[in-house]
C-alpha cells in the first residue's frame, strides 16, 4: 500500500526527525553549471585545476600537481602543520569558495530547505556557501530546518567566548565583539574536531539529532554515476515500511510558485505541532 501525496497533507503523521547529510557530490549535483557566474564547484580531485593552484604548489616544491588535493595537503600538513605555505594555499581556497554566489532562481538547495521542517537537520561537509545562502533567503518565508557545517564554512563566524555564531561580519550579542570566521577543516588523516570550538559544537548538534532521527538521508558521497539514484533518494521516505508516493517539488517553479505549492504541507505541520509537540 502506498501513501499518496494528498495523504501526506490530509493525514499527516507525527513523524520524527529527518536528518540529511550532504557531501561534496551534493553541491556538484545541485549546481551542475556552477554558481551564478558559472564558476565551477571543485571536488578534491579537480580542486587544483579549477582554482589554478599549480604554480603556487610548484613554487612550494610540489613536483607532481596532477594528484588529488587531499593527498598533497595531507603530505604538507604532516611535514609542518604551521607552515606559512599551507596558510597561503588555505587563503586561496577560502577566497574562491567565499566568492561563490547562489543563482537567482530556486536551486536544489532551496528545494531541500523548503521541503524539511524545523525539527529536521541538514548537516553538510561542504565549504561552499550555497546551503547557508539558500537557508538564509528562505528562513523568513516558512519555518526552516536547522543546518550544521561539519567542516566549517566560508559564510560562518563565531564568538570564541560565548556559544554564539552567525554570518561573518556580525557581532556577538553578548560581548559585542565581531565574530571570528570559522576555519575550514582540511582533509588530513587525523582530523581534530575538538580543537575547533565552532566545529566541535556542530558535531555535537548532529550527534544529538542522530540519536532522535527517524529518517536519514545521505547524499553526495557516492561516485557521480550514482548521483541520479541519490537525487531520488533525497525525496523518498521509508517509514513503517510503507512506500510514499513520489511527491516532488515543482522543479521549474519560481519562489512564489514554490511557496504556494508547499503551503499545505507547512500548514499540516503547524496543525500537528499545535496538537502535540513531539521533538
Ligand atoms: Zn561573545
In DSSP notation, the chain reads -EE-HHHHHHT-----EEEEEE-HHHHHHH-TT-STT------TTTHHHHHT-HHHHHHTT-S--SS-HHHHHHHHHHH-TT-HHHHHHHHHHHHHHHT----SS--HHHHHHHHS-TT-EEEE---SSHHHHHHHHHTTTS---EEEETT--TTEEE-SSSS-EEETT-B-TTT-PBPEEPPPPP--SS--GGG-HHHHHHHHHHHHHHHTEEEEEEES-S-GGGHHHHHHHHT--EETTEEEPP----TT--HHHHHHHHHHHHHHHHHHHHH----
CA–centroid distance, residue 175 to ligand 1 (Å): 4
pLDDT 10s digits, 167-207 = 999 999 999 999 999 989 886 666 666 678 888 888 889 88
How far apart are the CA of 245 and the centre of ligand 1, in A?
Answer: 47
Considering only residues 186 and 166, tell me which one the structure prediction assigns the higher pLDDT.
Answer: 166
Tell how far the Cα of 249 is from the centroid of ligand 1, in angstroms.
40
Q: What is the pLDDT of residues 44-61, one digit of tens each?
A: 889 999 999 999 999 988
Q: What separation in Å is there between the alpha carbon of 193 and the centre of ligand 1?
A: 21
pLDDT-based confidence at residue 87 (cuts at 50, 70, 90)? very high
Closest to 124 (Cα-Cα) out of 50, 56, 58, 30 = 30
pLDDT over 60 (residue 227): no
Q: How far is the CA of 190 from the centre of ligand 1 (A)?
A: 30
What is the rounded average pLDDT of the residues 96-123?
A: 96
Distance from residue 217's CA to the centre of ligand 1 (Å): 34
For position 193, what pLDDT does the model report? 65
Q: How far apart are the CA of 163 and the centre of ligand 1, in A? A: 8
* Centre of ligand 1 from the C-alpha of residue 229, in Å: 44
| pLDDT given for residue 226 in this prediction | 29
| Centre of ligand 1 from the C-alpha of residue 174, in Å | 5
Ligand 1 center from residue 153 Cα (angstroms): 19
Q: How confident is the model at residue 13 (pLDDT cuts 50, 70, 90)?
A: low
Ligand 1: centre distance to CA 98 (Å): 24
Query: Ligand 1 centroid vs 81 CA: distance in angstroms?
Result: 28
Positive or negative, the CA dihedral 181, 182, 187, 191 is: positive
Q: Please tell me the predicted confidence (pLDDT) of residue 89.
A: 95
Least confident of 41-50, 92-101, 229-238: 229-238
The yes-or-no verdict on residue 253 having pLDDT over 90 is: yes
Ligand 1 center to residue 213 CA distance, Å?
31
Q: Decide if pLDDT at 213 tops 70.
A: yes
Which band of pLDDT confidence, cut at 50, 70 and 90, is reported for residue 274?
Answer: low
Whole-number Å distance, alpha carbon 166 to ligand 1 midpoint, is 11
Percent of the residues in the chain that have a pLDDT greater than 70, as a whole number: 84
Least confident of 53-57, 131-135, 234-238: 234-238
Alpha-carbon torsion 215, 219, 225, 229, what sign? positive
Q: How far is the CA of 123 from the centre of ligand 1 (A)?
A: 24
Task: Give the Cα separation of 175 and 188 in Å (integer).
Answer: 34
Distance 215 CA to ligand 1 centre (A): 35
Residue 161 Cα to ligand 1 midpoint, Å, equals: 5
Direct distance between the N- and C-terminal alpha carbons of the chain, in angstroms, rounded to an integer: 28
Confirm if 250 and 261 have CB atoms less than 8 A apart: yes
158 CA to centre of ligand 1 in angstroms? 8
Amino acid at each position: 500500500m502506498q501513501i499518496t501525496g494528498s495523504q501526506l497533507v490530509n493525514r499527516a503523521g507525527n513523524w520524527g526527525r529527518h536528518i540529511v547529510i550532504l557531501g561534496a557530490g551534493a553541491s556538484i549535483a545541485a549546481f551542475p553549471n556552477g554558481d551564478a557566474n558559472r564558476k565551477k564547484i571543485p571536488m578534491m580531485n579537480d580542486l587544483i585545476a579549477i582554482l589554478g593552484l599549480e604554480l603556487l604548489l610548484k613554487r612550494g616544491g610540489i613536483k607532481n600537481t596532477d594528484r588529488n588535493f587531499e593527498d598533497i595537503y595531507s603530505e604538507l600538513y604532516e611535514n609542518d602543520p604551521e607552515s606559512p605555505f599551507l596558510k597561503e594555499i588555505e587563503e586561496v581556497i577560502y577566497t574562491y569558495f567565499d566568492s561563490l554566489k547562489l543563482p537567482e532562481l530556486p536551486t536544489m538547495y532551496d528545494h531541500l530547505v523548503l521541503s524539511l521542517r524545523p525539527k529536521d537537520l541538514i548537516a553538510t561537509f561542504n565549504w561552499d556557501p550555497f546551503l547557508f545562502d539558500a537557508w538564509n533567503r528562505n528562513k523568513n518565508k516558512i519555518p526552516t530546518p536547522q543546518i550544521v557545517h561539519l567542516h566549517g564554512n566560508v559564510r560562518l563566524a563565531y564568538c570564541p567566548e560565548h556559544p554564539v555564531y552567525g554570518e561573518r561580519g556580525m557581532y556577538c550579542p553578548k560581548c559585542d565583539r565581531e565574530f571570528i570566521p570559522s576555519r575550514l577543516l582540511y582533509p588530513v588523516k587525523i582530523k581534530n574536531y575538538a580543537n575547533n570550538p565552532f566545529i566541535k559544537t556542530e558535531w555535537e548538534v548532529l550527534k544529538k539529532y542522530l540519536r532522535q532521527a527517524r529518517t536519514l538521508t545521505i547524499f553526495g558521497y557516492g561516485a557521480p554515476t550514482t548521483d541520479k539514484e541519490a537525487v531520488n533518494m533525497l525525496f523518498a521516505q521509508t517509514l513503517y515500511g510503507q512506500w510514499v508516493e513520489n511527491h516532488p517539488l515543482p522543479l521549474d517553479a519560481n519562489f512564489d510558485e514554490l511557496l504556494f505549492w508547499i503551503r499545505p504541507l507547512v500548514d499540516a505541520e503547524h496543525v500537528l505541532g499545535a496538537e502535540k509537540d513531539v521533538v
